[in-house]
Amino acid sequence: MSAEDPFGDAPAAEFDGGTIPVMKLKDPEPGNGLQMRFSLDDIPKMDLLGKSDPQLLVFLMDHDEHWILYGKTEWQKDKTSAVFDTPVTIPIDDEFKEVKIQAWDLDKFKPDQIDVMSNHDLIGTVTINIRKLVDKPEYSTALYNSKLSGDAGQLTISSTRV
């Protein structure tokens, strides 16, 4: 991993005008998937002029304990709260135990460098045991960012088994 290639050797997918590597797995067997929908509240202002332009990235930890980008939401412009339309469905199996969700403020004024994550601002991150999301279909938690002295907004995940 590097600033130029923040997600390693995963295959690339379109990412709001650029590319970002996304792990490609087969769809979970019926009943073994967890579809997650997301909303953010109290997003800190990350842009000098305006609010934040959030997008969520969803990572799964593989059996080698490496975080691999698995899915993402759409990008939203100038928000302090956001409800994302794009769900992310993850497998529920013994291979993946935790999910990490990062909220990023995308800086679109650098369109030629959109796929270099170091050009964007991390709003906050949270790591959750997947079983918690299975057991509690409506799960809310604070995002954390040490550069913001801790609390970086509230993430709500609505989960449905599929």
| Distance (Å) of CA 44 to CA 84, 117, 157 | 17, 19, 19
pLDDT of residue 57: 93
Domain locations along the chain: 12-22+32-161
Task: Enter the CATH code of domain 12-22+32-161.
Answer: 2.60.40.150
pLDDT of residue 108: 66
Per-position pLDDT tens, the chain of length 162: 333 333 334 444 444 444 455 556 667 778 889 999 999 999 888 766 778 889 999 999 877 788 888 899 998 988 889 999 999 999 888 777 899 999 998 876 555 544 555 567 889 999 999 999 999 999 999 999 988 776 889 999 999 999
pLDDT of residue 115: 56
pLDDT of residue 36: 97
Yes or no: say if 120 and 54 are a contact pair by the CB < 8 Å rule. no
| Distance (Å) of CA 90 to CA 26, 61, 67, 126 | 10, 12, 14, 16
Tokens of 7: 């997600």
